[in-house]
Amino acid sequence: MRSAIARIGEERYHSRHPFHRLLHGGGASRGQVQAWVLNRFYYQASIPLKDAALMSKSRDREFRREWRRRIDEHDGRGDNEGGIERWLVLAEAVGLDRAAVARHEGILPITRFAVDAYVQFVRERSLLEAVASSLTELFAPKIHEERIAGLLRHYDFANDRTVSYFQRRLEEAPGDVEFGLDYVLRNARSRAEQEACLAAVRFKTDLLWAQLDGLYHAYVEPAHPPPGAFVPGAP
């Protein structure tokens, strides 16, 4: 299982997407960075909904007490302002209007479809598949490191404060994913369950990838932003 999951990451994780190569390599324009921050925020803001739906499937109090930490990490608790707030700091830093981003104004329909499909998957599928779909976090530290380095090197807006979302995820994600991986390895016993878990990881890589397909088609030359979507530089 462990190596099958790792292979999915190597073949399908969105670190390989051309939009990310553009972004991390310094080739993205200000408008492209803005479009990415705006659209990706819909994903960030939906994560607590996904995690609450997942928690609502578990009759195990210890499991819920572990999983709710993810919600706290995004929504904030106490001194921790939370990942959603940190992403809004990034949005302001790239020149977007905070309130408009918070309302998800101008996001691509593809973004909405892909992210909503994720929340719906977690609502409808088994707890085991829902947990498995979180395991793309195994692949996240590498992309976060690349991204932090790439943004700091190439873009004026990037500094310790504005990339703090990614820095913080580097600290949080390993503990989260260790629990999730352990859960999947212990509970996916039958071949059918293991296949369902691998399919859940592939599904997750699909929805991450599709978000970047949408961005690339809409904002990389020849750019084709769909009707109603964010247009860089528009008033």
The alpha carbons of the chain give a radius of gyration, in whole angstroms, of 17
By CB under 8 A, tell whether 53 contacts a copy of itself: yes
Minimum CB distance to a copy of itself, residue 76 (Å): 7
Q: Supply the DSSP symbol for 225.
A: P
Cβ-based nearer residue to a copy of itself, 30 or 69 = 69
* Span 96-125, contacts to a copy of itself by CB under 8 A: 119, 123
By CB under 8 A, tell whether 64 contacts a copy of itself: yes
Contact window for a copy of itself (CB under 8 A) among 43-51, 92-100, 215-223, 225-233: 43-51
Quick check: 14 and 205 in contact, CB under 8 A? yes
Q: How many CB atoms lie within 10 A of CB 16?
A: 15
- State both tokens at 226: 């769909």
Q: How many CB atoms lie within 10 A of CB 19?
A: 22
By CB under 8 A, tell whether 21 contacts a copy of itself: no
Minimum CB distance to a copy of itself, residue 215 (Å): 22
β-strand partners of 80: 77
Q: How many residues in the shown chain lie near a copy of itself by CB under 8 A?
A: 26
Residue 125 has φ and ψ, to the nearest 5°, of: -85, 175
By CB under 8 A, tell whether 65 contacts a copy of itself: yes
Q: Which of 8, 31, 75, 129 touches a copy of itself by CB under 8 A?
A: 75
Contact window for a copy of itself (CB under 8 A) among 59-67, 160-168, 169-177, 180-188: 59-67
Q: Which of 1, 52, 196, 231 touches a copy of itself by CB under 8 A?
A: 52
State the Cα–Cα distance between residues 184 and 148, nearest whole angstrom.
30
State the Cα–Cα distance between residues 24 and 175, nearest whole angstrom.
25
Q: How many CB atoms lie within 10 A of CB 158?
A: 20
Q: Which of 3, 59, 221, 233 touches a copy of itself by CB under 8 A?
A: 59
Q: What is the dihedral of CA 105, 111, 113, 114, to 10 degrees?
A: -150
By CB under 8 A, tell whether 186 contacts a copy of itself: no
Q: Is 105 helix (H, G, I), strand (E, B) or coil?
A: coil
Contact window for a copy of itself (CB under 8 A) among 49-57, 109-117, 132-140, 141-149: 49-57
By CB under 8 A, tell whether 144 contacts a copy of itself: no
Quick check: 214 and 225 in contact, CB under 8 A? no
Using CB under 8 A, list all residues that contact a copy of itself.
45-46, 48-53, 55-59, 61, 64-65, 68, 71-72, 75-77, 82, 84, 119, 123
